[in-house]
């Protein structure tokens, strides 16, 4: 790894979960260390943590993945409607496609609904970045146009399971985001590294490449809507469904690097407004500790989102976040 590569600069060359931040004293690494040092000092003093660099509402997503049947989905929706997810938090749940219409009809505010994927004809070249297909000959797929027609407000794109199991590359994900945005969908776009990439010190190189593929496809007119309508979910592949969770300091360092990249490559306004979620075995036991970090603007939750009580508790960690960053 080059000493001046993005991953070296942010100090993420250390192995999984075992070491702290260590890197050459480059500008981005120094910025990250100052943030982490301030946070640790604040915790040591029992004081509030540093003010968040982000300005958006806390957002929690529940990805139900390929789980559930009619009975369990109905029971989960009823339990979510009867629960308390707290105040000043955006809540989005993503059921399997067969149950999206039921969720749209039965879930109560403030919960919104997301699809878990949307098709794009990834071989298209389109200078307008709209990527509308002339053909519907894509058996088994669901288009952004269909989601728009059904009134589905959100879609999750680029999840690591689709990248690793179904071969979606960065270019395809970028086109999907552009196509979904053209049809008015808000997007949670997932980024993250494998264990091998982390141990090789390539975490930020991988994530910046994933972000570049998205930024290159979003029309300049769309950049102003990133903050409210394009959410970035950092999901280290090695922590999804494994029970392993990155330390709060490791997550904060990556989120701070993402925000700095947005500032340098999109705009400072977008950098502040964009919400950056963490997803990687988040549960009711670790959410509050993670939520205290200044650049963790929410969570994308997998297994724990199938339990309404646990999911509500994760949503209510928004209050912990606001208090920790001085926005209570």
Catalytic machinery residues: 159, 235
Distance CA 244, CA 16 (A): 10
- Tokens, residue 275: 């919400």
Identify the CA nearest to 294 among candidates 240, 256, 247.
256
Distance CA 146, CA 133 (A): 13
- Whether the Cβ atoms of residue 116 and residue 97 lie closer than 8 Å to each other: yes
Cβ count within 10 A of residue 138: 12
Distance CA 11, CA 26 (A): 9
CB hemisphere CA count around 25 (13 angstroms) = 1
Mapping DSSP to helix (H, G, I), strand (E, B) and coil, where does residue 221 land?
helix
Mapping DSSP to helix (H, G, I), strand (E, B) and coil, where does residue 201 land?
coil
Identify the CA nearest to 177 among candidates 226, 246, 240.
226
């Amino acid at each position: 790894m080059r000493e001046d590569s993005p991953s070296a600069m942010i100090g993420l060359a250390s192995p999984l979960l075992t070491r702290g931040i260590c890197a050459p004293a480059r500008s981005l690494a120094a910025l990250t260390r100052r943030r982490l040092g301030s946070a640790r000092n604040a915790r040591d003093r029992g004081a509030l943590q540093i003010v968040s660099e982000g300005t958006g509402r806390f957002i929690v997503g529940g990805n139900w993945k390929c789980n559930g049947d009619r009975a369990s989905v109905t029971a989960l929706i009823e339990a979510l409607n009867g629960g308390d997810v707290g105040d000043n938090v955006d809540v989005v749940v993503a059921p399997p496609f067969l149950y999206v219409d039921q969720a749209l009809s039965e879930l109560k505010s403030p919960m919104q609904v997301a699809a878990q994927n949307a098709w794009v004809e990834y071989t298209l070249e389109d200078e307008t970045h709209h990527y509308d297909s002339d053909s519907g000959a894509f058996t088994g797929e669901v288009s952004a146009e269909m989601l728009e027609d059904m009134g589905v407000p959100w879609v999750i794109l680029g999840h690591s399971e689709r990248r690793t199991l179904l071969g979606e590359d960065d270019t395809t994900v970028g086109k999907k985001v552009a196509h979904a945005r053209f049809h008015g969908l808000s997007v949670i776009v997932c980024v993250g590294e494998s264990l091998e990439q982390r141990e090789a010190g390539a975490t930020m190189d991988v994530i910046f490449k994933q972000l570049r593929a998205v930024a290159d496809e979003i029309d300049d007119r769309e950049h102003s809507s990133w903050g409210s309508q394009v959410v970035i979910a950092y999901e280290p592949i090695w922590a999804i469904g494994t029970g392993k969770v990155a330390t709060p300091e490791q997550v904060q360092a990556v989120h701070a690097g993402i925000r700095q990249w947005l500032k340098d490559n999109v705009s400072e306004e977008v950098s502040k407004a964009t919400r950056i979620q963490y997803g990687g075995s988040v549960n009711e036991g670790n959410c509050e500790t993670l939520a205290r970090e200044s650049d963790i603007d929410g969570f994308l939750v997998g297994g724990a989102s199938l339990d309404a009580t646990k999911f509500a508790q994760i949503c209510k960690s928004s209050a912990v976040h606001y208090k920790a960053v001085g926005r209570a």
